[in-house]
Amino acid sequence: MTQTSLLTGPAVQAAHTVAPPTATRCPRPAMQQPNIGFLFNHEQGHQLAHSAPILAALATREDQLAQLHAFVSSPARQRELKALIPAPAWRNITVHNIAPPTTARWAEALTGGAVPLQRIGSLVKHRALLKSMDVLVAPETTCTLLKTHLGCHNTRFVYTQHGAGDRAVGFKKIIARFDHVLVPGHKIRNRMLAAGIVREHGYSVVGYPKFDALSPSAGRSTFPNDNPTVLYNPHFHPALSSWYRDGLKVLEFFADNPQFNLIFAPHVMLFTRRVHASCSPPRLRFSGTIPARFLRCDNILVDPGSQRSMDMTYTRAADIYLGDASSQVYEFLTRPKPCLFLRSHGVSWADDPNYAHWHLGKVLDSPDGLGAALKNLSWFDDTLRTRQRRAFRATFGEAPFGASDRAANVIITLAAGRHRATVPFLPSQTSYAGHAQPGYPKPGRSKPGRSKPRRSKQGDYHA
């Protein structure tokens, strides 16, 4: 029976033809306007769709109230960004190349990619240009080095996040260094308030901008049959991912059971780096390689990091989710569907808010339970369906589309206030509604975030 998607709203944005990348500079009007910059300096493109739709919303406004800038670290990022921006709006954006220095590339290669030295090198090399912004918008936290170590004290930093999951790293104290945080729904808002990461008037609940950039191909079948399709989406984190212990066993199961289709689309960073390390808890893991025999299976699609693994093509196409710690599980739940989670590290998860999403499906101690779980889905009952609907609304609110416009309004207000050297009033709760998810702390009085970040228990870096 066909289920109604929880993603209801206007039609998804049409794809745009991508021309060869060229820097575009929009003319500055006679009256000085604030400068708003968007930072895209990650070595992969999975963070783009979390802030690019906001840039597109700003660039398509009839009232161009600010000078818009995009900072990209490679031609690939520029091409991917341009694909997310309508062609007329692209002409309203000044694009800057902030490629990292060669020494940073070499150093990161020598460490196997375990440390984001290219991102850091890019910030150091181009700090003067970045400091010229009145507002700098970023989907990740490395950029706060500009404030703490590189003298960027007069710019307002806005954090868009890049996912809406439950991992502790999404609530680390370093987020308190941002001047304003855009949150998708009240689930994350409540938890950040309780942890003292954000304060009243230091955040806005706007929704999930990535939904405004949905690919037209999202949801199309990826196999020429009607067999159930499972998406295996392991994270890369060495202390959380199921890949290192159980990944090959999962592939082996589907190779032996062709009555099921498998999309193996891990977090894009899993195979981008050869080595994955964390300090808390201390872990060192090697991503390894995918044996060639699995690439030859007709019922297995292996995608270690194409655009389709990031634009919700697979989360919309799959019937069943299999994973561990990735926030993509919430993108998968646009309608209630079975979810399986691999408990590869023996974690005690039931009362841990970092594993709240595991209450939305069935938890397996090893891939040995895959056969029984997939062949008989009676465990996926009305209780789980109800939990999933509530969790989706708590995560993204009642109006998943339109987040980009809401976020754009917040940023324009911030930029205007910064340009006038006054702090504008920004309501912490917009008219955008959402619901608290059971098991999450309710908002209340909380202490401001500490200036010195603490390491999270689930790892100390966010890629």
Q: Is the pLDDT of residue 400 over 50?
A: yes
Adjacent-strand bridge partners of 72: 40, 97
Number of Cβ atoms within 10 Å of the Cβ of 376: 9
The pLDDT of residue 217: 60
The pLDDT of residue 62: 86
What is the per-residue pLDDT across 429-461, written as a single tens digit (0 to 9) for each?
443 433 333 333 333 333 333 333 333 333 332
Q: Is the pLDDT of residue 33 over 50?
A: yes
Cα–Cα dist 438/436, whole Å:
6
**How close are the terminal C-alpha atoms of the chain, in Å?**
38
Looking only at the bridges linking them, the beta strands covering 275-279 and 282-286 are antiparallel
Q: Is the pLDDT of residue 114 over 80?
A: no
The pLDDT of residue 282: 87
Taking each helix axis as running N to C, give the angle between helix 186-195 and helix 382-396, from 0 to 180 degrees, rounded to the nearest 10: 70
> Which pLDDT band, with edges at 50, 70 and 90, does 131 fall under?
very high
Question: Mean per-residue pLDDT for 60-79?
Answer: 93
pTM (two decimals): 0.83
The pLDDT of residue 402: 94
Q: Is 161 left (phi over 0), alpha (psi -120 to 50) or beta?
A: left
What is the per-residue pLDDT across 316-357, written as a single tens digit (0 to 9) for each?
999 999 999 999 999 999 999 999 999 999 999 999 999 999
The token duo for 190 is 């409540």
Q: Cis check for the bond before 291: say yes or no (omega within 30 of 0).
A: no
Q: How many whole angstroms from its chain centre is CA 295?
A: 27
Number of Cβ atoms within 10 Å of the Cβ of 97: 15
The pLDDT of residue 219: 63
8 A C-beta contact, residue 332 and residue 339 = yes
Q: Is the pLDDT of residue 2 over 50?
A: no
Looking only at the bridges linking them, the beta strands covering 35-40 and 261-264 are unpaired
Q: Which range is least confidently modeled, 156-165, 179-188, 429-438?
A: 429-438
> Which pLDDT band, with edges at 50, 70 and 90, does 45 fall under?
confident
Q: Which range is least confidently modeled, 98-112, 115-129, 254-268, 392-406?
A: 98-112
Q: Is the pLDDT of residue 399 over 90?
A: no
Percent pLDDT > 70 in the chain is 82
Q: Is the pLDDT of residue 264 over 90?
A: yes
The pLDDT of residue 7: 63
Cα separations in angstroms, 358 against 260, 340, 349: 23, 8, 8
Domains of the chain from N-terminus onward: 35-207+401-419 (3.40.50.2000), 229-394 (3.40.50)
The pLDDT of residue 3: 55
Longest CA pairwise span in the chain (Å): 69
Q: Under 8 Å CB-to-CB from 49, ≥6 apart: which residues?
A: 84, 209, 210, 213, 310, 311
The pLDDT of residue 455: 36
What is the per-residue pLDDT across 193-205, written as a single tens digit (0 to 9) for each?
999 999 988 999 9
Cα–Cα dist 164/310, whole Å:
14
Average pLDDT, rounded, for the chain? 84
Cα separations in angstroms, 278 against 115, 225, 240, 297, 420: 10, 41, 10, 34, 42
> Which pLDDT band, with edges at 50, 70 and 90, does 393 fall under?
very high
Q: Is the pLDDT of residue 10 over 50?
A: no
Question: Mean per-residue pLDDT for 114-124?
Answer: 88
Question: Mean per-residue pLDDT for 283-300?
Answer: 95
